[in-house]
Amino acid sequence: MKFRDRITKSVQVKFGGLNHTQGAGDGELWDMMNLTSDHFPLLASRARRLTYLSLSDAGGLFSWDGLCWVDGDGLFYRGERVGGVVPGEKSFAAIGAFIIVFPDKVFYNTFSGEFGELESEWAGDEVVFTNGVLFDEAADANTLQADGVVWSELFRVGDAVSVSGCSEHPENNKTAVIRGMDGDRLFFYEFCFVLDGAGRDEPYSEAGELSVKRAVPDLLYLCENDNRLWGCDSTTIYASKLGDPFNWNVYDGLDTDSYAVDTGSAGPFTGAVSFLGYPVFFKEENIYKVYGSVPSNFEVMPSATLGVAQGCAGSLGIAGETLFYLSRAGVMAYSGGIPQPVGDVFGVERFSSAAAGSDGLKYYISMRGEYDEWQLYVYDTLRGLWHIEDYLHATHFAKWDGNLYCLDESGVIRILGIASDPPACESAEDEVEWRIEFADFTQGEPNKKGVSKVQIRLELDAFAHADIFMLFDSGGVWQRVGGVLASNVKRSYYLPIVPRRADHFRLCIEGEGGVRVQSLAIEFYKGSELQAH
C-alpha cells in the first residue's frame, strides 16, 4: 500500500513458522520461544503445561492401556508399583496384555497382574539323559531328568530351552523345544539326545556345572508388529514366536516360529519401530523393512538411505500418518519410500540426542543443538510449520487418553499442548513467557528506508503484557518501541517511531501470558542508496 507522500505500508495477517535461514524474508520468523500453530494463521503463545507427576529417579515412560513408568527400582502402572527393576534407562514394548521392559527382560501382565522375568533358568550339578515318552507313547533318547526339580515351575510345554555344561557327551549341549513334562522330567522329540553305551541307547548321568535355560536376546531396540515382538541388537534382527514374547528360539518349520537374520551393512542398528504394518529397523545409513507374514516368507529389504542417528532411537514418532526421526542430516519424514528432509528451516545447525512424541498430528522433538543447548521443537503436519517452545530436555514421550505426556531430565512428567479432559495433576505452570523475532525486513528495496510507525493488532489475556523492540542494521542494540502493551481485549496499537534510515531492520515482540497476534503493519518511506549517516 502506497501513499502520495511516498510512505508505504506493509500489512501482514498470516504468520507462518520458523525460518532460521539466511533466505528468511520480510514477516518470516527468525527465532521464537513458546509459540504454537494452534491458532494459525495467528501468532500465538502455547498453552500452559500441566505437571502430572514428579519422579525421584526416572527411568522411562510408556503407555499401553494406561501410563507406565520406571522410578528407581520400581515399575509403575496406572500409578501403582507392579514390579521391581534395576534402576536406569529403559526400553518398552507391548504385546497383547504384556508390557515388556528391557534391558531387564521383565514383563507385566496388565490383565492378570502377573510380573516376572522373560528368561528362566535352572542350574545344577547333575542331570540324567534317558528314554521317556512322547505324546503318551514310549520314545527313545528324548528325556532330561533332574532329581527333585519341578520343571513346570520354570518352563512351559513349547518353550525352547538351551542345555549347556555337558562334557561326557557334548552333543547334548543344544537348544530344543520342550514337548512335554512330568514332575522332574522334560520330554523332547525322539532321539534329541545322545545316550550312553555302544548303541547310544543307555541312560547316563552328566555331572558338572549344568544349566537349562529359556533365553531371550539382548535387544537394544524393540517393537510389536502383527502379534510378534520384534527387536535387534547391534547386528541381528529377531522376532519372537507368534504371540509369545518368552520364546525366541523355536524353529519347528511352522508359521508360529521365531525368526532371526543378520544384516551385512556396516554400523550398528540405531532404532526400530512398527510402521504401516511392517517392522522397520534403522542404521545411520540404512533402513531395513521386513516384508511377509510368516517366517517362511519373511524378507528383509534394505535401502541405503539416511536412517536414525546414533543415540536418537527415541526420536522415532508417527504424526499425520508419517514417520519422523532425527538423522545425521536433520529431521526426516518417512512414508515408506525415500525419507525426505523437513528440517531445512533450522539452517546449518545440526542436532543430536533427540527424543520425540506425537499427539497424532503434531510431532514434538526435544534435541540438543551444537552448543549443548536443548530445545523442544514442534512440527505441525497439517500446515508444514515448525515452532520452538522452550528449553525442555525431554527423555521420553507417551500418548494416553488423548493427551501427550513427556518425561524430562529432572523426572517431571508433564502434559503438553492443549489438554483434553486431563487427569488430576499436581499443578499448572506459571504464565508462559514468549518471544517473537522476525527476520530482517528489507521491504524488497535495496535502498535505505525509514520506518515511521508500527501498528500491531493483538489480543492479550488478562494479566498478560507485551513489549515491542526494533533493531536497525544489525546494530546489536534493541530499541523499545512505545510502552508496555497490556489489555484483555482485542485491539490495535499504533506505535510511533522516531524516523530512522536503515538498510534493514528487525522487529521483536516479547511478553508473558496468553497472546494472539492478528496483524502487523509497518509504515516506511523509501530513501536512497546513500549511507544512513
Q: Please say if the pLDDT value at position 65 is more than 70.
A: yes
Residue with more model confidence, 472 or 340: 340
Task: Provide the pLDDT for residue 444.
Answer: 64
Give, in degrees to the nearest 5, the angle at Cα 198 between 192 and 201. 35
CATH 2.40.30 for domain 120-214, yes or no, is yes
By residue count, the chain amounts to 533
Measured CA to CA, the distance from residue 70 to residue 86 in angstroms comes to: 9
Q: What pLDDT is attached to residue 499?
A: 58
The whole-angstrom separation of Cα 69 and Cα 62 is 6
Report whether the peptide linkage leading into residue 41 is cis, meaning its omega lies within 30 degrees of zero.
Answer: yes
The amino acid occupying position 218 is D
Confidence at residue 475, expressed as pLDDT on a 0 to 100 scale: 81
- The HSE-up count of residue 13 (CA atoms within 13 Å, CB side) is 1
| Among the listed residues 158, 300, 149, the one whose alpha carbon sits nearest the alpha carbon of residue 239 | 300
One-letter amino acid for residue 311 of the chain:
G
Give the C-alpha distances (Å, rounded to integers) separating 253 from 23, 158, 189, 295.
59, 14, 14, 8
Cα 14 → chain centroid: 32
| Mean pLDDT computed over 268-284 | 97
What are 96-140's pLDDT values in tens digits?
A: 999 999 999 999 999 999 999 999 999 999 999 999 999 999 999
pLDDT given for residue 523 in this prediction: 81
Calculate ∠ Cα 356-361-364, nearest 5°. 20
- Mean pLDDT value across residues 148-157: 96
Query: Which residue has better confidence, 157 or 496?
Result: 157
Structural domain boundaries of the chain? 7-47+434-526, 120-214, 221-428
pLDDT band at 488, cuts 50/70/90? low
Burial class (CB in 10 A: 0-12, 13-18, 19+), 405: buried
Buried b (16+ CB within 10 A) or exposed e, 478-498: beebeeebeeeeeeebeeebe
pLDDT of residue 26: 83
The pLDDT value recorded for residue 481 is 82
Q: Per-residue pLDDT tens for 10-38?
A: 889 999 999 999 888 888 999 999 999 99
Residue from 159, 144, 78 nearest 111 by CA = 78
Instruction: Please tell me the predicted confidence (pLDDT) of residue 497.
Output: 67
Given this chain, do its domains 120-214 and 221-428 carry the same CATH topology?
Answer: no
pLDDT above 70 covers a percentage of the chain that reads: 95
**Cell matching residue 252:** 519347528
Report the alpha-carbon distance of residue 29 to residue 507 in Å, rounded: 10
Question: Looking at per-residue confidence, does 386 or 523 come out higher?
Answer: 386
* CATH numeric code, 221-428: 2.120.10.80
> pLDDT, tens digit, for every residue of 389-431?
999 999 999 999 999 999 999 999 999 999 888 888 878 899 9
pLDDT at 200 over 90: no
Please say whether the beta carbons of 217 and 233 come within 8 A.
yes
Q: Which of 99, 450, 54 is nearest to 245 (CA)?
A: 99
pLDDT band at 3 (very low <50, low <70, confident <90, very high): very low
Query: Mean pLDDT over residues 454-478, rounded?
Result: 87
What average pLDDT is seen over the chain?
92
Task: Assign 447 a pLDDT band (cuts: 50, 70, 90).
Answer: low
Provide the CATH number for the domain formed by 7-47+434-526 in this structure: 2.60.120.260
Closest CA to 298 of 240, 343, 346, 337: 240
Residue ranges of the alpha helices (H) in 63-218?
none
- pTM across the whole model: 0.92
pLDDT at residue 2 is higher than 80? no
- Position 474 confidence tier, pLDDT thresholds 50, 70, 90: confident
Question: Would you say 424 and 69 are in contact if contact means Cβ atoms under 8 Å apart?
Answer: no
pLDDT of residue 301: 95
Q: How far apart are CA 17 and CA 387, in angstroms?
A: 6
One DSSP character per residue, 257-280 reads: --EEEE--SSS---EEEEETTEEE
Name the pairing type of β-strands 35-36 and 175-177.
Answer: unpaired
Distance CA 468, CA 487 (A): 15
Q: Which helix H or strand E contains 356, and what residues bound it?
A: strand 352-358
